[in-house]
Structure 1
Amino acid sequence: MSAESTPTTGSADFATCDLYDADESLQSLSLQLLNLGGRARFTGPIRTIRCHRDNGLVKELLNSPGDGAVLVVDGSGSLDSALIGDMIAASAIENGWAGVVIHGVIRDREQLAEMDLGVRALGSNPRKSVKDGAGEVDVPVQFGGVSFVPGATLWSDADGVLVSNV
């Protein structure tokens, strides 16, 4: 798929299957993340955070202008504590984020399902994380066979997650 025919950032008019059929160089996330937000289809430029059981940076970044971006959080696949919940998700919506993709878990699952935010994660756990702010922002992260590079484009729908190469 050429850059001219790729749906624009923020557009909800795409299907990941069609995107991949048109451009097999797109990266396809093999990890089977659950669709846990109220927005089933979302796209945007990638921002990243790498952290482990600490959502201080997640909270800080989602409290800043998102401009239609998608936050990809590499939480090391930890199921021990949630990296976002309903209050942080509400901030993300208020600040214009399109969605979050979390290699980890969330909490407030029922509330997030009703919110206009794309949320993909491994599952849920009611345990809060610490908020020390440990981690890294806007660094390349890898999981599920995909390299998530800040500035690349991410598309997510019911069939999965695709990422452009930068």
Structure 2
Amino acid sequence: MSLKTTDLCDDHSDNLSIASPMFRDFGGRREFHGPISTVKVFEDNSLVREALSEPGEGRVLVVDGGGSMRCALLGDNIAELAINNGWNGVVVYGCIRDSADIATMDIGVKALNTHPLKSVKKGVGERDVSVTFAGITIRAGQYLYADEDGLIVAQEALHQA
């Protein structure tokens, strides 16, 4: 079932938050959607790994990395972990690495850019808190829809499972 962001905007624009167009596509799956879980971190991907180690149940992890361009918060090993645990996608307000490998994986990944340096691992950050970037506020439990045309957030599912 195709859930194009353009069609969803045509039908539901009054009830959507539409992210500013700043994200690039990196995953092998360009169209993805699901209930949102969030992490808020800064140059530390410990909570990203922790979240993606849990059963994803079709969710999308939204990572507020503060827009840092100094290291990566997601690489191929963590992306593989996400796939194995049933996550549909990851959105990173920051950088990823191993982009060529992630491009071959069956998961949606959007991020600002790439960076070869891995992050520190101190376990600092917050889980399932409201995050604000790209001109919108995103809360755990909302629904995210993403494709080549953009990223939108709805209060509830706009499709039937």
- Inter-partner Cα distance in structure 2 for 1:16 and 1:165: 15
Output the TM-score relative to the length of structure 2. Answer: 0.94
Q: Which residue of 2 aligns with 1:9?
A: none
Counterpart check, 1:87 vs 2:77: yes
The one-letter amino acid of 1:132's match is K
The one-letter amino acid of 1:92's match is A
Output the TM-score relative to the length of structure 1. Answer: 0.91
List gaps (5 residues or longer) in structure 2: 157-161
2:3 to 14, 21, 25: 14
- Inter-partner Cα distance in structure 1 for 2:66 and 2:123: 16
Q: How does 1:7-156 map to 2 (within 5 A)?
A: 12-24=1-13, 25-156=15-146
Q: Secondary structure at the match of 1:49?
A: strand
Aligned residues: 155
Superposed CA RMSD in Å reads 0.9
Once the two structures are TM-superposed, the CA of residue 148 in structure 1 deviates from its matched residue by 0.8
Q: Secondary structure at the match of 1:83?
A: strand
- Inter-partner Cα distance in structure 1 for 2:25 and 2:81: 19
- Inter-partner Cα distance in structure 2 for 1:41 and 1:27: 17
* Segments of 4+ moved more than 6 angstroms: none
Once the two structures are TM-superposed, the CA of residue 147 in structure 1 deviates from its matched residue by 1.1
- Inter-partner Cα distance in structure 1 for 2:20 and 2:78: 27
State the identity as a percent.
48
Once the two structures are TM-superposed, the CA of residue 133 in structure 1 deviates from its matched residue by 1.0
Q: Secondary structure at the match of 1:23?
A: helix
Structure holding more strand per residue: 2
List gaps (5 residues or longer) in structure 1: 1-11
Deviations 1:36-65 (A, max 9, x none): 000000000000000000000001110110
Q: Secondary structure at the match of 1:132?
A: coil
Deviations 1:3-60 (A, max 9, x none): xxxxxxxxx5211001011011211101420000000000000000000000000011
